[in-house]
């Protein structure tokens, strides 16, 4: 049996807005293939064709499947709801020996808890069980929002951002079940910071560092930072420009109230209804966004190390997930030699902390064989079209292009063939 890989190949598939990476370690006696995520929220992406391509590339044998977290754009392709010809059934047919997921997916620890949080004290639930119950309740809320969101559409009937966010945060039950069943019981692992991945047994010469997510005891990943100097901000978006007022210019509470047409609701009633409706929609959107941020922070963060090379795959981990790892002794040294970085959360402003980016010492290398390689699977215009919240973030994309070799699915249109990187 060989003791070291001869090299590695990374295939980044164009799934629209989502992630799908096939990581292959090449050995003298054959290859070991690891599928990292397989999902999308984009319409029209042919996940079955991509699954067939993966099946062919791995020779119908995957060593492992890694589902970094439960979001639809990372696991929807694992659904086998369509039967034997579905993308999920094709991947399951590649017989992975292992399936790796974050600790938040562990069914034994309560990931399927349905007990109402109010009963926690009486039943002596742990904080973890309460956490799971809250998580599942929030995901049910997202499913309800996804069902009612179309009624918020305007006359043009265009899909709204709230629909995409809500759909991405539903429970994806078929994919979750298939992920749990496609590997033997001994090969199902639920990981947290510092845990043993179990992958090394079948990957001679490869070390796998699990850098996230932290457990509840290690770091409070539920406390979300709205702003941070770690973010890639385009400006002071939180600044509010006060409206100039003049003591000489008095305004009525309801301007134009006397101008409503006969037989219609009074202006003040229509004013109130519009604003109440906007508050209702804003509250729903805020709740779903909180869940979105939280699920991102349950992402697995894995660093593969072999032959002096380092490959970093952080899923959608945001700052709250990263904070624990970045605060640990020796982390700067571990991250300093990263050769390939899978850009977190499709290039959002808060998933590549600036301190993480600064730790990559192969940025700006003059040697083309040494410079940092970045892979960004994304699609512009899917989420947060405002200047400050757009994905991918302009400032981050500029830095990626300037200081690394950036490979991205942006602009690939409907092409599903993978972007291939050899190391």
Average pLDDT, integer, range 225-236: 64
pLDDT interval class at 202 (50, 70, 90): very high
Cα maximum dimension of the chain: 87
Tell me: pLDDT of 235 over 50. Answer: no
pLDDT score, position 56: 96
Query: Smallest Cα–Cα separation from 311: which of 343, 354, 345?
Result: 343
**pLDDT at residue 33 tops 70:** yes
Residues with Cβ within 8 Å of residue 290, at least 6 apart in sequence: 138, 224
Between 48-57, 139-148, 153-162, 251-260, the lowest mean confidence (pLDDT) is in 251-260
The residue that leads in pLDDT, 254 or 169, is 169
CA distances from 42 to 65, 77, 150, 278, 379 (A): 22, 12, 17, 27, 9
CATH of 7-109+171-220+297-422, one of 3.30.1370.60, 1.10.10.10, 3.40.50.300, 3.60.15.10: 3.60.15.10
Percent of the chain with pLDDT over 70: 65
Strands 30-38, 188-191: pairing is unpaired
205 with 108: CB under 8 angstroms? no
**pLDDT tens-digit readout, 348-370:** 988 999 999 999 999 987 777 78
Distance CA 358, CA 372 (A): 12
In the predicted model, what is the mean pLDDT of residues 315-344?
92
pLDDT bin (cut points 50, 70, 90) of residue 68 is very high
Name the token pair of 254: 């309801």
Q: How many other C-beta atoms can be found within 10 angstroms of the C-beta atom of residue 218? A: 15
Q: Determine contact, residues 390/384, Cβ cutoff 8 Å.
A: yes
Phi, psi of 374 (to 5 degrees): -115, 135
Q: Tell me what the mean pLDDT of segment 207-229 comes to.
A: 77
**pLDDT averaged over every residue in the chain:** 78
Tell me if 172 sits within 8 A of 80, measured CB to CB: no
Give this prediction's pTM.
0.77
Q: Among 9-13, 201-205, 261-265, where is mean pLDDT lowest?
A: 261-265
Strand partners, 304: 208, 311
3-state secondary structure 204-261: CCCEEEEEECCCCCCCCCCCCCCCCCCCCCCCCCCCCCCCCCCCCCCCCCCCCHHHCC
Separation between Cα atoms, residue 324 and residue 327, nearest integer Å: 5
pLDDT digits (tens, 9 = 90+) for 87-139: 999 999 999 999 999 988 887 655 443 332 333 344 444 555 545 555 665 65
- pLDDT higher than 80, residue 338: yes
**Residue 250, pLDDT score:** 44
């Amino acid at each position: 049996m060989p003791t070291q890989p001869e090299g590695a190949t990374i295939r980044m598939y164009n799934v629209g807005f989502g992630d799908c990476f096939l990581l292959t370690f090449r050995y003298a006696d054959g290859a070991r293939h690891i599928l990292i995520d397989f999902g999308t929220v984009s319409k029209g992406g042919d996940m079955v064709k991509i699954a067939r391509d993966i099946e062919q590339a791995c020779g119908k044998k995957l060593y492992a499947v890694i589902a970094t977290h439960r979001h639809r754009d990372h696991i929807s392709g694992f659904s086998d709801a369509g039967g034997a010809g579905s993308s999920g059934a094709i991947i399951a047919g590649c017989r992975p020996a292992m399936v790796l997921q974050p600790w938040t997916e562990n069914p034994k620890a309560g990931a399927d808890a349905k007990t109402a949080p109010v009963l926690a004290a009486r039943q002596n639930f742990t904080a973890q069980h309460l956490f799971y119950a809250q998580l599942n309740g929030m995901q049910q809320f997202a499913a309800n929002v996804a069902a009612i969101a179309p009624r918020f559409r305007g006359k043009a009937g265009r899909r709204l951002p709230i629909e995409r966010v809500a759909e991405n945060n539903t429970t994806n039950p078929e994919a979750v079940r298939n992920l749990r069943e496609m590997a033997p019981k001994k090969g199902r692992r639920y990981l947290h910071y510092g845990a043993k991945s179990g992958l090394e047994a079948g990957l001679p010469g490869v070390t796998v560092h699990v850098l996230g997510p932290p457990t509840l005891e290690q770091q409070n990943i539920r406390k979300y930072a709205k702003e941070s100097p770690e973010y890639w901000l385009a400006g002071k978006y939180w600044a509010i420009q006060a409206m100039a007022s003049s003591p000489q210019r008095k305004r009525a509470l309801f301007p134009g109230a006397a101008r409503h047409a006969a037989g219609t609701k009074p202006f003040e009633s229509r004013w109130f209804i519009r604003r109440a409706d906007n508050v209702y929609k804003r509250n729903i959107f805020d709740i779903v966004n909180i869940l979105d941020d939280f699920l991102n922070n349950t992402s697995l963060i894995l660093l593969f190390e072999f032959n002096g090379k380092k490959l970093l795959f952080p899923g959608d981990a945001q700052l709250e997930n990263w904070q624990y790892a970045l605060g640990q002794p020796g982390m700067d040294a571990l991250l300093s030699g990263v050769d390939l970085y899978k850009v977190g959360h499709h290039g959002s402003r808060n998933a590549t902390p600036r301190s993480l980016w600064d730790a990559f010492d192969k940025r700006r290398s003059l040697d083309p064989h040494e410079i940092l390689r970045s892979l960004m699977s994304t699609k512009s215009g899917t989420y947060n079209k405002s200047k400050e919240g757009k994905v991918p973030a302009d400032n981050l994309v500029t830095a990626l292009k300037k200081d690394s070799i950036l490979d991205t699915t942006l602009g690939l249109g409907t092409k599903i063939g993978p972007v291939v990187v050899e190391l």
